[in-house]
Amino acid sequence: MFKGFANVWTPLVLASKLGRAPMRVILAGEPVVLFRGRDGAIGALIDRCPHRGIALSLGRVCEDGHLECAFHGWRFDTLGANMFVPLNPDARRDRLGATALPARQVGDMIWVHTSPGAEAPHEPIAPDGLTAPGLMRTYIEREWACHWTRAMENMLDSPHLPFVHRRTIGRPLIRRMTPTSRMEVTWMDTPNGGRAQAGLDGDGSSAFLEFFRPNMMALNIPIPGRHLRIHALVIPAGAGRTRLIVAGSRDFARLPLLNLWFSWLNGKIADEDKAVVESSGPQETPPAVAEHSVATDRATLQFRKYYYDTLRDSHA
Ligand code: FES
Ligand SMILES: [Fe+2]
């Protein structure tokens, strides 16, 4: 289960998208059903009824906050415990539970831990732009036909900016680049991943990006005295499919109408990457030795090392 993406916390969906009805989401090849219990607790179950294997997301959330299977009406609570087996008062319900995943709301998003069981070994760690109070936040969502590792590397890759993003965030770099320019990419390990900075011709840019294991990037855009960040949350979905959520956070230009502009820009930047990333072959990021790399690939190679050392062989 969750092969190649097991035993990690990941953001999954915006909490505002989960209403009264159960919601099916594919995460790293596994169908997951999300629902809210009566106390507001979030349930995340493998979307397969333990009775006859049908999708629990076809069912409904009852008045008492239990998820009722559409086939024979078995009911489950947010931890997967079987609460009711209709027509079978003698059923051993303690043996008839569904498979639950740890789930939390963190900031505006629902997160799940990709290992079955009620407990996770630690709490989710989110970039603070997603959780700090008092910030304006915007979200856009895209689905790309690619393996998530290629999309994640793209988010950590600075030397593509003057090419793929020549009309948006790459424009300042193009103005300064000459045929003999050199980009210096530095990497520093952090407790939750790493921090990369790209300077051009010895001119240390104060913009930097942070990688948060397993699948998040936060780009810090330097404006003195201001907070402006773009986060990429790269979520593995079905085979060869990736859901990308781009979250912007800022502490200025607070007019809610301006959210439309920030969302539009983040969507435009993401759309510039789509065709390039989707064309990658092989689909999954290969081991470092299988492709040619140069000095400006430092940050993506760090991700590749993490993926191959820790995640790729993982399963729950
Ligand atoms: S398949 Fe779910 S209750 Fe029978
Ligand atoms: Fe990009």
Summarize pLDDT for 134-182 with one digit per residue, the tens: 999 999 999 999 999 999 999 999 999 999 999 999 999 999 999 999 9
pLDDT at 16 over 80: yes
For the Cβ of 69 lying below 6 angstroms from any atom of ligand 1, the answer is yes
User: Of the residues 78, 113, 148, which one is the last residue of a structural domain?
Assistant: 113
Q: For residue 113, what are the contacts with CB-CB under 8 A and spacing of at least 6? A: 7, 8, 9, 101, 102, 103, 120, 124
304 and 196 in a common domain: yes
pLDDT at 81 over 90: yes
Asked whether residue 166 is domain-assigned, the answer is yes
What pLDDT, on the 0 to 100 scale, is given for residue 203? 84
Could you say which DSSP state residue 85 is in?
-
Asked whether residue 107 is domain-assigned, the answer is yes
User: Of the residues 113, 148, 179, which one is the last residue of a structural domain?
Assistant: 113
Kindly report the three-state secondary structure assignment for every residue of 193-260: EEEEEEEECCECCCCEEEEECCCEEEEECCCCCCCEEEEEEEEECCCCCEEEEEEEEECCCCCCCHHH
The enclosing domain of 220 has a CATH number of 3.90.380.10
The residue whose CA is least distant from atom 4 of ligand 1 is 72
What the block records as the tokens of 46 is 């493998």
The ligand that comes nearest to the alpha carbon of residue 151 is 2
How far apart are alpha carbons 163 and 38 in whole angstroms?
Answer: 50
For the Cβ of 54 lying below 6 angstroms from any atom of ligand 1, the answer is yes
Q: For residue 160, what are the contacts with CB-CB under 8 A and spacing of at least 6? A: 154, 170, 273, 276
How far apart are alpha carbons 234 and 241 in whole angstroms?
Answer: 11
Asked whether residue 118 is domain-assigned, the answer is no
Give the model confidence (pLDDT) of 232-280 as tens digits: 999 999 999 999 999 999 999 999 999 999 999 999 999 999 999 999 9
Q: Which atom of ligand 1 is nearest to the CA of 59?
A: 2
Q: Quick one: what percent of the chain has pLDDT higher than 70?
A: 100
User: Of the residues 113, 142, 177, which one is the last residue of a structural domain?
Assistant: 113
Task: Please give the residue range of the domain that contains residue 183.
Answer: 128-311
The tokens 């008045």 sit on which residue? 63
23 and 158 in a common domain: no
What the block records as the tokens of 171 is 């424009």
Q: Which atom of ligand 1 is nearest to the CA of 70?
A: 2
156 and 75 in a common domain: no
- For helices 148-155 and 258-278, what crossing angle results, to 10°? 120
What pLDDT, on the 0 to 100 scale, is given for residue 206? 75
The pTM score is 0.96
What pLDDT, on the 0 to 100 scale, is given for residue 118? 75
The protein residues having their C-beta less than 5 angstroms from ligand 2 (an ion) are: 273
Asked whether residue 14 is domain-assigned, the answer is yes
137 and 203 in a common domain: yes
The residue whose CA is least distant from atom 3 of ligand 1 is 72
pLDDT at 307 over 90: yes
For the Cβ of 49 lying below 6 angstroms from any atom of ligand 1, the answer is yes
The residue whose CA is least distant from atom 1 of ligand 1 is 52
Asked whether residue 140 is domain-assigned, the answer is yes
61 and 30 in a common domain: yes
Q: Is the peptide bond before 214 cis (omega within 30 degrees of 0)?
A: yes
Asked whether residue 29 is domain-assigned, the answer is yes
221 and 141 in a common domain: yes
What pLDDT, on the 0 to 100 scale, is given for residue 207? 84
Q: Which atom of ligand 1 is nearest to the CA of 69?
A: 2
286 and 181 in a common domain: yes
87 and 197 in a common domain: no
Counted domains in the chain: 2
Give the model confidence (pLDDT) of 181-230 as tens digits: 999 999 999 999 999 999 999 887 778 999 999 999 999 998 999 999 99
What pLDDT, on the 0 to 100 scale, is given for residue 231? 98
166 and 282 in a common domain: yes
Q: How far does the centroid of ligand 2 lie from the alpha carbon of residue 299, in Å?
A: 14
Asked whether residue 4 is domain-assigned, the answer is no
The enclosing domain of 62 has a CATH number of 2.102.10.10
Mutation pick for ligand 1 pocket among 54, 75, 83, 99 (CB with most ligand atoms within 8 Å): 54
Asked whether residue 68 is domain-assigned, the answer is yes
100 and 154 in a common domain: no
301 and 259 in a common domain: yes
| Amino acid identity at 127 | P
75 and 194 in a common domain: no
